[in-house]
Amino acid sequence: MSESLQGTVALITGASSGIGYAVALRLATAGASIAIVARRRDKLEELASKIGATGSKVLIIEADLVDPAQAAAAVANTVTEFGRLDTVVNSAGVMLNGDSLTTPMADWELMVDLNLKALMYVTKAALPHLIRDVETSPRHVADVVNISSIAGRVARRHVAIYNATKFGVTAATEAWRQEYTRQSVRFSVVEPGAVETELFDHQSSITQEAYRKMFSDVEKLHAADIAEATAFIVTNPRRVAVNEIVIRPTDQV
């Protein structure tokens, strides 16, 4: 049975679009105050208006999380504004796949920086607050949900570095789960298959065409589907820790 998030605070990264956008809105409807973090302020302002309509409080944080100082500041600003931190959803990410001989090194570096290192920076900064605020939490538990991918479970050609970052997210999440579960901080990973988001739009034209053919007969997931899975994790009673959710389109092999 799901519980209200009233009286809690959630920080969502990658909130300007896609899964992060949908998660922020969904957790707001559950009663949480929401800090939304991304680089595109115009998109954050659009989301903030929708969150405000739910009655939940919202804080816009414009930040580039590949900078560890900005990641730490995003956490600090959230705690300063709301007085606590109960939930972190690390959703920021990028997918820049393609032939390994021709893919620019800069694309690989960006995937490592955003998909893995930015997640590390935010988690590292958030942990002391999550552990502390469990003591005064109305739910007696804190949550970190990391959005990974089925690419964190199965390696495929042309996806080497994206695979590496998502395998890393999944592995780190499980290690952190073991480390902090006795302090009532739950770590969970969500591993979606194909989702209809901007993620595919960042590819080269050749890669986009390949993905269009690959998923031509697949009804992709919606970002709201992943948001619902995330809400399921964080609204469970303290005694229930959902460690991992794999969620694919029904049509995806």
- Residue spans of beta strands (DSSP E) within 75-219: 87-90, 142-147, 185-192
DSSP string, 29-64: HTT-EEEEEES-HHHHHHHHHHHHHHT--EEEEE--
- Name, in order, each residue with C-beta under 8 angstroms of 49's C-beta and a sequence gap of 6 or more: none
For the chain, what is the largest distance between any 2 Cα atoms, rounded to a whole number of angstroms?
Answer: 53
Confirm if 171 and 153 have CB atoms less than 8 A apart: no
Q: Is 162 a catalytic residue?
A: yes
Catalytic-role residue among 121, 162, 180, 211: 162
In angstroms, the Cα distances linking 240 to 12, 132, 218, 228, 233 are: 22, 20, 33, 17, 9
CA distance 198 to 96: 12
Count Cβ neighbours within 10 Å for each residue of 189-204 and write b for 16 or more, e otherwise: bbbbbbbebebbeebb
Treating both helix axes as pointing N-terminal to C-terminal, what angle do 41-54 and 18-29 enclose, rounded to 10 degrees?
20
Annotated catalytic residues are 162
